[in-house]
Amino acid sequence: MASDVVVITDSVANLSPEMVTRYGIEIVPIVLLIGGKLYRDGVDISPTEAYKMFLKDPDKFNTSPSSPGHYLEAYREASKRAKNIFCVTLSSKLSTGYQMALVAKEEAGKELPGIRIEVMDSQNVTASEGFIALAAARAAGAGKSLAEVVKSAEEVKEKVTFFAFLDTLRYVYRTGRIPKITSQIGAMLNVRPVLTISDGAIHFKGVVKSREQGMSRLIETLRKKAGKGPVHVAVMHAFAPEEAQRLKERISSEFVCSELFITEFSPVMGYATGTGTLGLAFYKD
């Protein structure tokens, strides 16, 4: 069934190229600045390539938020395929993306007459944002109306969350939320913070002292929040594919999963988290 709704989201949603292609999702790439050169996240450079460059020289790795122009270009491309556009952005408490998408929507109203655009602040990030966009794209693919697509996204938005643990605190000061000296002390103590999201903001949920302990903490959290399933799960990693595969295998053996896949954290987040981060995004059916 032909869809008359195109879904747009940003590269921080951690959707794989295969998923983007399968569901016809338009991606607004966040810009990476590495060694003085600009790269579009997921377009000019893959997460794996970006993390390798990050490890060579973290101090020459930076990010730049999307502009209204980036969103306007996505609207133009989407308008070639459908009369209705649904844009899902990362949390407005973490980025200016939502505001930029709204500014672009106003401009598109002049440039693209007859095209209807809805913009949602996902109040999420990582693959938890991705799950919201996926729900919308699947509804669109089933021939649902724009209102029904938005409703599908809202239903997942109410349920989805993520938990992750960082392998190091060394770079967290780059978020501007903690002093550099505190970040350095935390790194020396070798503690790994566990993070989650609620009300659109990142929250600290404790620490673990090893990667194995961190993986067990993720499993325990999934069991507590989702029970035995059925559950949708994305295993996320920052340059740690082997451990992500092990985590996926544990989840597959212990839970009933409606879907279970591995995806890479956007290097945009790696700017502050460093490599080695592992996490789960999930929601119950």
Answer for the pair 193, 257: CB distance below 8 angstroms, yes or no.
Answer: no
CATH of domain 161-284: 3.30.1180.10
Residue whose structure tokens are 């929601």: 283
Answer for the pair 192, 167: CB distance below 8 angstroms, yes or no.
Answer: yes
Mean pLDDT in the chain? 91
Distance between CA 196 and CA 201 in Å, rounded? 8
- In this prediction, residues 216-244 reach a mean pLDDT of 94
Peptide bond into 230 cis (omega under 30): yes
- pLDDT range class, residue 185, cuts 50, 70, 90: very low
Tokens for 219, please give them. Answer: 């499993």
Topology at the third CATH level for domain 5-30+65-157: Rossmann fold (3.40.50)
% of residues, the chain, pLDDT over 90: 75
pLDDT of 199 strictly over 80: yes
In this prediction the pTM is: 0.93
pLDDT of 181 strictly over 90: no
User: What letter would DSSP give residue 41?
Assistant: B
Give per-residue pLDDT as tens, 97-147: 999 999 999 999 999 999 999 999 999 999 999 999 999 999 999 999 999
Decide: helix, strand or coil at residue 119.
strand
Decide: helix, strand or coil at residue 244.
helix
Cα distances (Å, whole numbers) of residue 17 to 13, 70, 139:
12, 19, 19
Domain chopping of the chain, boundaries: 5-30+65-157, 161-284
